């Protein structure tokens, strides 16, 4: 197996995730795209761990999984709060900071 086949898959997933963050308006779908990006990064870490024969990449991948779980918990809490106050989770409607 080449190193590059995993890295290319990871780059492709990362770019799809970036497209999702740009294109989506629904806050839950933006969070899902962020999960895609974090998974792409994890794939890179594990591929490089095998290439270098070091467990550091695995450790970082585990930490990223834990941070992603915390991020989704807080993110969905925020989305619920926004929905309760605004009755919408469309990110285009949250434009008070625009001036």
Partner 1 sequence: MVAQNIGFAIIAAAMVVGALRVVTTTNVVHAALWLVVVLSGAAAQYILLAAEFIAVTQVLVYIGAVMVLFLFGTMLTRSRIGTDSGLNNSYAKLGIPVAMVLFAAMSLALADSFGTEELPTDSSLINTQQISDQIFGPYLLPFWALSFVLLAAVIGAIVLARKD
How far apart CA 32 and CA 75 sit, in angstroms, is 11
Does 92 help bind partner 1 (rule: CB under 8 A)?
yes
Does 68 help bind partner 1 (rule: CB under 8 A)?
yes
Q: 84 or 99, CB closer to partner 1?
A: 84
Buried/exposed code over 64-96 (b: 16+ C-beta within 10 A; e: otherwise): beeebeeeeeebeeebeebeeeeeebeeeeeee
Nearest distance in Å: CB 16, partner 1: 4
**Nearest C-alpha neighbor of 61 from the set 49, 45, 72, 48:** 45
Angle in degrees, 0-180, between the axes of helices 3-23 and 27-52, rounded to the nearest 10: 160
Q: 22 or 97, CB closer to partner 1?
A: 22
Query: Which of 34, 67, 94, 99: binder of partner 1 (CB under 8 A)?
Result: 67
Positions touching partner 1 (CB under 8 A) are 1-9, 11-20, 22-29, 31-33, 35-36, 39, 42-43, 46-47, 49-51, 53-56, 58-59, 61-63, 65-74, 76-81, 83, 89-90, 92
């Amino acid at each position: 197996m080449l190193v590059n086949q995993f890295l290319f898959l990871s780059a492709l997933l990362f770019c799809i995730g970036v497209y999702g963050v740009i294109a989506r308006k629904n806050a839950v779908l933006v969070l899902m795209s962020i999960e895609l990006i974090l998974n792409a990064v994890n794939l890179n870490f594990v591929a490089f761990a095998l290439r270098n024969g070091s467990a550091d990449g695995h450790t970082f991948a585990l930490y990223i999984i834990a941070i992603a779980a915390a991020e989704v918990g807080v993110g969905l809490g925020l989305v619920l709060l926004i929905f309760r106050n605004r009755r919408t989770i469309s990110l285009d409607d949250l434009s008070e900071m625009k001036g």
